[in-house]
Amino acid sequence: MKHSSGVIIVDKPKGVTSHDVVAACRGLLHTKKVGHAGTLDPMATGVLVIGFGAATRLLNSLVGASKTYETTIRLGATSTTDDADGDITRTPEADVTTITREDIERAIAEHLTGDILQVPSTYSAKKIHGQRAYDLARNGQDVQLDANPVTIEDFTVTDVRCVYESEGTYLDVDATVTCSAGTYIRALGRDLGELLHVGGYLTMLRRTRVGMFDADSQKTIHMTAQSYEFTQKDGEVVQRTKAQASKELKENEEKLAEKVILPADAARAVLPVRELTAQQAVDICFGRPLKTSVKTLTAALYRGQLMALVEPWKPNLAKPSTVFMTAEELARLATQTA
């Protein structure tokens, strides 16, 4: 493929991990240097931002972008994982039929909107003394996580309906949530259930947007989940699920190249931009500070190419935090665009 570095937006299917998507992208892009910006649980679908080549160094900046989700919260039961993949326990004596939409919206407005402190889900990737919380929880250990500050920009209820199951009645709440990085939507569902004294967990989660990257974009790659079996050395047959791109993208490099977002365009989508002079571009290549001021992490571009990410340093000076182009590459760029 003609692009050695860039960002692609994958619509992750249900039933695969974010790592499974990275593995599929390594095969699709024919490179091992692939990473993602922000994990999605196996149950979740939607936008997973993938970086490859030098653009993997952009991922830390993309992780911090705000995100939008569509979700369904089931009230009337709890889950060990705060979603449908865990062990579900119906809340004793919970009568969800008395809960109105107004009750739900009031609880959200008063406790789950704006700047809040949120305790992450027990089954999360948060680390405790170097170990993942979900690993400790799976081993039966008591997991105590500290509350983290997050911002819920919008939490809108779109539908409320009763669901009748053999074991009882539940209330399903459809909602859209726009929030800061680090927010656990599973924890929002759990906390809403606790506020209403009936318990709650997620039955559906879809990430529709990360920063300016949208699931409905024409550049989005929609992957599918494919089940397969293999036999282990002891003879046990094991079933696994992997992510898979379309046959067209696998076989047509031009079509695949059309899906790639170039590093400069990806940076523009989430960061302020500073255009460099020729001398500043040279200075950046050698790690020298720029005689300019920036208020926050900024993408430094020269002739349409991403040169570096720069950050505030001393008064009227900015220093490069990540450099994407060498002096040799800059010289070639100058020749090509002269």
- Tell me the per-residue pLDDT of 20-62, one tens digit each, with 9 for 90 and over: 999 999 999 999 999 999 889 999 999 999 999 999 999 998 8
pLDDT digits (tens, 9 = 90+) for 235-292: 788 888 999 999 999 999 999 999 999 999 999 988 999 999 999 999 999 999 999 8
Residues of the chain with CATH 3.30.2350.10: 68-203
| 22 alpha-carbon distance from chain centroid | 13
Tell me the backbone φ, ψ of residue 100, rounded to 5 degrees.
-100, 165
Q: What is the largest CA-CA distance in the chain?
A: 75
Catalytic one of 11, 20, 41, 283: 41
287-325 burial, b at 16+ Cβ within 10 Å, e below that, comes to: eeebeeebeebbbbbbbebbbbbbeeeeeeebbbebbbb
d(CA 202, CA 136): 22
Q: Name residue 1's amino acid.
A: M
pLDDT attached to residue 98: 95
pLDDT digits (tens, 9 = 90+) for 91-117: 888 899 999 999 999 999 999 999 999
With vertex at residue 207, the alpha carbon angle to CA 215 and CA 228, rounded to the nearest 5 degrees, is 85
Nearest to 263 by CA among 222, 305, 318: 305
What pTM value is reported for the model?
A: 0.90
Residue 185 in tokens: 């939507």
Tell me the backbone φ, ψ of residue 80, rounded to 5 degrees.
-65, -25
Residues of the chain with CATH 2.30.130.10: 271-336
82 assigned to active site: no
Q: What CATH code is assigned to 271-336?
A: 2.30.130.10
List the beta strands (DSSP E) in the chain.
6-12, 34-36, 45-52, 67-75, 77-79, 88-90, 114-118, 127-128, 131-132, 148-165, 168-179, 200-210, 213-214, 221-222, 224-231, 237-244, 273-275, 298-302, 305-312, 318-323
Whether 47 and 38 have beta carbons less than 8 Å apart is answered as no
pLDDT attached to residue 256: 95
Q: What CATH code is assigned to 68-203?
A: 3.30.2350.10
| 211 alpha-carbon distance from chain centroid | 10
